[in-house]
Chain A
């Protein structure tokens, strides 16, 4: 039997496979349009309108570039992003090198240490730095009279915050290497430095560019760090917040949002362009490179990892420690008073519960949606045009900073004509926004897992007249469970820690924990802000540990076939 039997099936059935697939792809397109494309369109069009909603062409842009303080923010943003990138990339490269090209012990532990910042909101390193290098900081003298409030603080906090992202990319880039090249070089008597320059670096060059692009974009678009430790040093993200929240000047906020979009989109396309040029590093005949033990190198790299990994853990630790101090710097006794959030924020512990609720909802709805969506795009053949559109929309959020997406949501969902306006200020819109913001990575994870499954499954199912949803349920989902769990945890952790998009979207009673941190810091209650940040970190790490445990216990056996 072949696929023709399906088309020859009795046409009386209302629920044909083709129709279901078409309907679902249509639904996915509609949802992605609503959650991603239309808000961005609303932002774009808003930047051409004045306060009364009249079309004014480029007048807002002209006013933006005629205002020195706003243009200065743009330059400031570019400056700190460039500086942070040039510091993070070498740091992360050496760290990744140690993890992949040495035989030092406890690699897993050091990798985990470098990944720690992922579980914290970006506000946390900034709060820690206030305690370390602020005017009452215990290591303040190390700055030789310079102030932590401004570019120095921003760059230091960004280095902490961006390290895991750069490290992950570089570990992946350095993890693949052809051992034959190194053997050949060795047998030719090549010096170590030359080997590094001619074999290692060229092999990792795309990873390096990719990491640099990611870090640059992260710094430009981050809001939390500049908010806490920027002092009078304005950057694009804080300008967008000031224009929209502080002055309710939506037109100018939209312009700042568009300006913020430019570097992010540019970086995105540079990255894609370079990736296209990348040729396969590993041919079929390649021998994976396995580093030989070498005492001196391994010890040096171990020392380096202890230093960097230790610093990362220390910065995190300072915030946790500070949250238990009664009155810095005059009374250092232990207290739990900073966790009595009702003293510092009208909503008390409610924001933390809201955050759990939004993160849970994002993961619970997002995971099946992303996975089924990826399945439809990857494994079904219905409506090619619709699938192409959905594919494009799914990749779009990667290039859109959270701040920009959040602004777009304000303009789109709060427009008087929009019936979806009832969602404004609810938990549902916060979850929808988080899902849209983090859609791309989740989507790529699902697609990668699906690509590993042979298309034969679908072909066989079709020939047996089994509709695709049965195949999906009985075959695809069980095989992909580890990836599905990955997606759920990724969505949960990111929805928990994000601040940039949701700061524009919360309403009465739906404030999130990360926003409460911003508010408490604004009121000067930084110990309470550190306490709330600690709650977020503890929850995120707890969920990740649960994930690892589940992975080991549940799938250790069921997925053993993969190892073969």
Chain B
């Protein structure tokens, strides 16, 4: 039995010890993020190449989950930094004093819209993401629908049960769409529009990219989704059109912040510096059409051409201040309708 105990002890020592060898040589920086999965590996690689002595550990989930998690951990923060999270969430944290003020070196070169203009500076913009409609032309023909050109088209009866959009509480894309409709149409008209839309909605997904993937696979006819996911699925050969309706579409900015109370402040600052460089923005532009650094443009293949001019004039402060109220109202209207609607 003594031998067993020894073996068990050795196994335990291995379990605990596995992380420490790395930590001695490199600083582990835990970054909470809502970036898309396929972006994480290249971002990690680029950061570790640009900032020597740093090891990036991602904690990735949808915008809503990451937001809720940071709020829940506010007494005892476990993240060093936040990267690629919606600015509307970061403004919320700023209001609760959860962010460490820092202006990255060279941030003044970025487009004004991507800079925090109210001191103290707590966030720095990276890129913009938009809500689009992914419309499956093959399934559309089969279901006798035509491609939507305005948001109201989605409430037509032939889309009944054939639409999908992200859940606004968990997905940043979901929330920016809801916030956009309310700002664009006014609260009363906006909620009435969503009531009609709800009649057509098959399901509200956890993530902002899932609706486009589902439309691309023909599981649904159309999905309201994240722009870059639409371009990517189309490039992979899905029979979809990526549509931005004429009235314009909602968008949010992804930004980088340092969490107040981090034990790796120096490393976090150096990563924030990197995030504002031209090189970093060139990396962002592999995935996003609109990035913070002026002059860096590289429209991803199959990205809707008219995106930048159709970005709705968005009020981030309004989005941040009304988030809780809007989500509660949304949940009251569309979640308590308990009957399964498929």
A residues apposed to B, CB below 8 Å: 67-69, 72, 130, 134-136, 147, 149-151, 231-234, 245-248, 250, 327-331, 342-346, 348, 357, 361, 364-365, 368-369, 372, 416, 426-428, 431, 469, 472-473, 507-509, 522-525
A135 to B30, CA, bound (A): 40
Which residue of A136, A232, A345, A507 contacts B217 across the interface (Cβ within 8 Å)?
Answer: A136
**Least distance between B335 CB and chain A CB atoms (Å):** 5
- Top 9 nearest A-B pairs (CB, nearest first) are A524-B213, A147-B342, A248-B72, A72-B338, A346-B40, A524-B210, A248-B68, A233-B340, A368-B4
Interface size class of B (residues with CB under 8 A): 35 or more
A135 adjacent to B41 (CB under 8 Å): no
A-B contact pairs, 17 of them (CB 8 A): A68-B336, A130-B219, A135-B220, A136-B217, A150-B342, A231-B340, A232-B203, A233-B342, A246-B65, A248-B68, A330-B138, A331-B237, A357-B15, A364-B8, A472-B1, A508-B57, A522-B205
Chain B residues contacting A509 (CB-CB under 8 Å) are: 19, 57
- For residue B24, CB closer than 8 A to chain A, the reply is no
Q: Given that A135-B218, A372-B1 are contacting pairs, would A365 and B8 also be in contact in the complex, using a CB cutoff of 8 Å?
A: yes
A346 adjacent to B335 (CB under 8 Å): no
A136 adjacent to B219 (CB under 8 Å): yes
B68 adjacent to A372 (CB under 8 Å): no
Chain B residues contacting A134 (CB-CB under 8 Å) are: 219
Which residue of B40, B211, B338 contacts A69 across the interface (Cβ within 8 Å)?
Answer: B338
- For residue B51, CB closer than 8 A to chain A, the reply is no
- For residue B309, CB closer than 8 A to chain A, the reply is no
A231 adjacent to B202 (CB under 8 Å): yes
**Least distance between B10 CB and chain A CB atoms (Å):** 10
- For residue B89, CB closer than 8 A to chain A, the reply is no
**Least distance between B12 CB and chain A CB atoms (Å):** 7
Q: Given that A231-B203, A524-B207 are contacting pairs, would A246 and B170 also be in contact in the complex, using a CB cutoff of 8 Å?
A: yes
A344 adjacent to B342 (CB under 8 Å): no
B239 adjacent to A330 (CB under 8 Å): yes
**Least distance between A344 CB and chain B CB atoms (Å):** 6
A149 to B202, CA, bound (A): 9
- For residue B284, CB closer than 8 A to chain A, the reply is no
Chain B residues contacting A234 (CB-CB under 8 Å) are: 338
A523 adjacent to B37 (CB under 8 Å): yes
B57 adjacent to A232 (CB under 8 Å): no
A231 to B61, CA, bound (A): 20
Q: Given that A248-B68, A522-B205, A523-B37 are contacting pairs, would A232 and B341 also be in contact in the complex, using a CB cutoff of 8 Å?
A: yes
Chain B residues contacting A232 (CB-CB under 8 Å) are: 203-204, 340-342
A166 to B143, CA, bound (A): 42
B12 adjacent to A428 (CB under 8 Å): yes
A510 to B, closest residue via Cβ: B19
A69 to B332, CA, bound (A): 9
B7 adjacent to A364 (CB under 8 Å): yes
**Least distance between A353 CB and chain B CB atoms (Å):** 11
- For residue B257, CB closer than 8 A to chain A, the reply is no
Q: Given that A327-B236, A344-B38, A508-B57 are contacting pairs, would A149 and B68 also be in contact in the complex, using a CB cutoff of 8 Å?
A: no
- For residue B11, CB closer than 8 A to chain A, the reply is yes
A245 adjacent to B65 (CB under 8 Å): yes
Q: Given that A231-B342, A248-B69, A524-B207 are contacting pairs, would A345 and B237 also be in contact in the complex, using a CB cutoff of 8 Å?
A: no
Chain B residues contacting A147 (CB-CB under 8 Å) are: 161, 202, 342
Interface of B is mostly: mixed
A250 adjacent to B41 (CB under 8 Å): no
B342 adjacent to A136 (CB under 8 Å): no
B203 adjacent to A329 (CB under 8 Å): no
A233 to B335, CA, bound (A): 11
A520 to B131, CA, bound (A): 21
B41 adjacent to A523 (CB under 8 Å): no
Chain B residues contacting A250 (CB-CB under 8 Å) are: 72
**Interface code B183-223, partner A: CB below 8 Å = 1, 0 otherwise?**
00000000000000000001111110111111001111000
| 20 additional contacts (CB under 8 A) given A508-B57, A508-B59 | A69-B335, A135-B218, A147-B161, A147-B342, A231-B202, A231-B340, A233-B342, A246-B170, A343-B38, A344-B37, A361-B15, A364-B8, A368-B1, A416-B75, A428-B12, A508-B30, A509-B19, A523-B209, A524-B211, A524-B214
A361 to B1, CA, bound (A): 18
Q: Given that A233-B340, A342-B41, A365-B12 are contacting pairs, would A416 and B76 also be in contact in the complex, using a CB cutoff of 8 Å?
A: yes
A357 to B, closest residue via Cβ: B15
Interface residues of B in 11-38 (CB under 8 A from A): 11-12, 15-16, 18-19, 30, 37-38
- For residue B238, CB closer than 8 A to chain A, the reply is yes
Chain A residues contacting B169 (CB-CB under 8 Å) are: 246-247
A508 to B204, CA, bound (A): 27
- For residue B172, CB closer than 8 A to chain A, the reply is no
**Least distance between A496 CB and chain B CB atoms (Å):** 17
Chain B residues contacting A68 (CB-CB under 8 Å) are: 336, 338
B212 to A, closest residue via Cβ: A524
A230 to B, closest residue via Cβ: B340
B213 adjacent to A426 (CB under 8 Å): no
**Least distance between A264 CB and chain B CB atoms (Å):** 23
Chain B residues contacting A357 (CB-CB under 8 Å) are: 15
Q: Given that A149-B202, A149-B342, A150-B342 are contacting pairs, would A369 and B8 also be in contact in the complex, using a CB cutoff of 8 Å?
A: yes
- For residue B64, CB closer than 8 A to chain A, the reply is yes
- For residue B60, CB closer than 8 A to chain A, the reply is yes
**Least distance between A358 CB and chain B CB atoms (Å):** 9
A525 to B, closest residue via Cβ: B213
Chain B residues contacting A149 (CB-CB under 8 Å) are: 202-203, 342
A426 adjacent to B218 (CB under 8 Å): no
A524 to B, closest residue via Cβ: B213
Of listed B59, B65, B219, residue having the most chain A CB within 10 A: B219
- For residue B303, CB closer than 8 A to chain A, the reply is no
Chain B residues contacting A426 (CB-CB under 8 Å) are: 15-16, 19
B60 adjacent to A346 (CB under 8 Å): yes
Chain B residues contacting A368 (CB-CB under 8 Å) are: 1, 4-5, 7-8
A247 to B58, CA, bound (A): 20
B69 to A, closest residue via Cβ: A248
**Least distance between A432 CB and chain B CB atoms (Å):** 10
Chain B residues contacting A344 (CB-CB under 8 Å) are: 37-38
B219 to A, closest residue via Cβ: A135
Chain A residues contacting B41 (CB-CB under 8 Å) are: 342, 346, 348
- For residue B49, CB closer than 8 A to chain A, the reply is no
- For residue B71, CB closer than 8 A to chain A, the reply is yes
Chain B residues contacting A525 (CB-CB under 8 Å) are: 37, 213
A246 to B202, CA, bound (A): 20
Chain A residues contacting B65 (CB-CB under 8 Å) are: 245-246
**Least distance between A452 CB and chain B CB atoms (Å):** 21
B38 to A, closest residue via Cβ: A343
Chain A residues contacting B7 (CB-CB under 8 Å) are: 364, 368
B41 to A, closest residue via Cβ: A342
A523 to B, closest residue via Cβ: B207
A423 to B, closest residue via Cβ: B16
Chain B residues contacting A473 (CB-CB under 8 Å) are: 1
A177 to B342, CA, bound (A): 48
A165 to B131, CA, bound (A): 46
Of listed A67, A134, A246, residue having the most chain B CB within 10 A: A246
B237 adjacent to A327 (CB under 8 Å): yes
**Least distance between A56 CB and chain B CB atoms (Å):** 18
A345 adjacent to B37 (CB under 8 Å): yes
